[in-house]
Amino acid sequence: MRILLVEDDHHLGDSIRQALLQQQYTVEWVNEGNMAEMVIRQDHFDAVIMDVGLPQKSGIDVIHTIRNIGIHTPIIILTARDSTEDRIRGLDAGADDYLTKPFAIDELSARLRALMRRSTGRTNPLIKHGEIVMDPAAHIISLKGQSLSLPRREFSLMEMLLNNVGKVVSRTQIVESLYTWDEEIDSNALEVHVHQLRKKFGSKLICTVRGVGYMVPSDH
């Protein structure tokens, strides 16, 4: 899951970023409102964690702007403001959830997973496809009841494809979700990940849509 973190407190932002990276997320981090708006307009994210009190443009104003132009990326407001009025303002601006500081990183992660389930139309925390069962919260996946160990990026790629069964996921979207802006990417890295998944789950699970990306067919 690719997350945009918008937080101007350097110590807190770095702590949240490191904690989410350890929980298998791909995290990009910006520290002011105008930059956040520009990045959300240009890039794909599965969810945004948005502080309210930001330099240049407030988190509430950023949310208003991106919602008004039709961007529906799930947003969690993260702020020290905990009055009922502040919560109402954030939710009415277009945020999907609200978490006050201080908070537990496990709760933030659980709320992110809940947003992803809603955005993909799932109610079950487990992702099931044929004889594959995935538990994103526990980072566990099994085939025919046999647990398999996947490195972080393979697990994230499989989660993305299983959340979009029957739909083509573009190469660009996959690469952006697996790698952060500052990471070096080998030209054949994505093909290697797909190859490894096919070895573990069968060669017919993931189809290549030449020139576009990859998909898991709905009838697999």
Give the model confidence (pLDDT) of 118-169 as tens digits: 887 777 889 999 999 999 888 899 999 999 999 989 999 999 999 999 999 9
Q: What is the value of pTM for the model shown?
A: 0.80
Indicate the fold that domain 2-120 takes in CATH: Rossmann fold (3.40.50)
Q: Positive or negative CA dihedral for 204, 210, 214, 215?
A: negative
* Dist. CA 117–CA 36, nearest whole Å: 24
Residue recorded with tokens 């030449």:
210
Closest CA to 23 of 116, 152, 127: 152
DSSP 3-state of 26: strand
Instruction: Report phi then psi at 27, rounded to 5.
Output: -125, 125
Q: What is the DSSP string of 98-164?
A: EEESS--HHHHHHHHHHHHHHHHT--SSSEEETTEEEETTTTEEEETTEEE---HHHHHHHHHHHTT
Residue recorded with tokens 């709905």:
218
DSSP 3-state of 12: helix
Give the model confidence (pLDDT) of 52-65 as tens digits: 889 999 999 999 99
* Dist. CA 60–CA 95, nearest whole Å: 9
Partners of 77 in beta bridges: 50, 98
Whole-number pLDDT of residue 62: 96
Average pLDDT over residues 76-80: 87
Is the Cβ–Cβ distance between 116 and 2 less than 8 Å? no
Tell me if domain 2-120 and domain 127-215 are identical in fold.
no
**Token pair in block for residue 3:** 């997350």
Whole-number pLDDT of residue 177: 85
H or E stretch covering 29: strand 26-30
Per-domain residue ranges of the chain = 2-120, 127-215
Closest CA to 196 of 147, 140, 158, 142: 158
Nearest 10 degrees: CA dihedral of 82, 3, 201, 124?
20
CATH number of the 127-215 domain: 1.10.10.10
Whole-number pLDDT of residue 217: 94
